[in-house]
Amino acid sequence: MGWAFLFIAGLLEIAMALALKSSAGWTRLLPSALGIAAAVASVFFLTHALKHLPTGVAYAIWTGMGSVGVALIGILWLGEQATPLRLGCIGLIVAGMIGLRLSDPTV
């Protein structure tokens, strides 16, 4: 169950970042409120994941999911550049997350 909680927490982390991007520096109420709600929900699910998973592994994967997810959405939908260096760095983050997942003895 810990990995499911962690996956949900990561998705909510992505939602939080995108909502805060849309909040225009806290000047738009709905995106700001959604960003805060997503952040609280993300931490809630992360907390439940930490009951079952090693803290370092879970936290690194949580932040990695947020980083990779937001970077890819930026490239695919927000018009950000997909340079070879940027894509390579995203790949390194994904490789690190896979390595941490495989290192978990509860698998």
pLDDT in tens, 26-53: 999 999 999 999 999 999 999 999 999 9
The answer to whether the Cα torsion of 3, 4, 9, 14 is positive or negative is: positive
Give 35's Cβ-side CA count (13 Å radius): 16
Q: How many domains does the chain have?
A: 1
Predicted local distance difference test score (pLDDT) of residue 36: 98
End-to-end CA distance of the chain: 11
Which range marks the domain in which residue 18 is found? Answer: 2-103
Read off the amino acid at residue 11.
L
CA 54 centroid distance within chain: 17
Q: Is a pLDDT exceeding 60 seen at residue 107? A: no
12 touches 41 (CB < 8 A):
yes
pLDDT in tens, 75-93: 999 999 999 999 999 999 9
